[in-house]
Amino acid sequence: MTPEQRYEALAAADAAALEELADRILAAGVSVSVTNGPESVSAPVRIPMPGDEGNTVVVGHLALTRCSIVVAGTPGDGMRPGCDFAGAVAAAVCDAESERDGALSADVIELCALTQRTVADRRRERADLVAMTKLDVQ
């Protein structure tokens, strides 16, 4: 799993499972320092302009919470949708644990893999529903 895939999966992981895993990592007594955040930010949602190559239009903003930390000398970053300070910190802790190959790094990868499967299942279910949709134009 690439760092980018891990980062994306931690952003989408079940909040309770993510925070429980971060608590287990921190319970080991590792040194932790917050280097940035947690802070709420917004990111523009852009779509391409039809027929206008390269230009986009902002259709709204997405609220995110981000955090950067260092666990036992290894940096970690976390981002969660909405205003989720605890989740962003937990994601950053888990990211650092995996990056440093800590004692619970396999658990981080397991949570990420489960999240990836869950997201893929949801996308498949949605695609199936869209495929069943019929539009009658009269």
Whether the CB-CB separation of 84 and 19 falls below 8 Å is answered with no
pLDDT tens for residues 112-138?
999 999 999 999 999 988 888 877 777
In the block, which residue shows the tokens 């895939």? 5
Question: What is the C-alpha separation between 57 and 46, in angstroms, rounded?
Answer: 5
Query: Which pLDDT score, from 0 to 100, does residue 116 have?
Result: 98
Distance CA 138, CA 132 (A): 19
Write out pLDDT tens, residues 6-24: 999 999 999 999 999 999 9
Asked if pLDDT for residue 56 goes beyond 80, the answer is yes
Mean of all residue pLDDT scores within the chain: 94
- Rounded to a whole number, what is the distance in angstroms from the first to the last CA of the chain? 49
pLDDT computed for residue 131 by the predictor = 85
Per-residue pLDDT, averaged over 83-104, amounts to 98
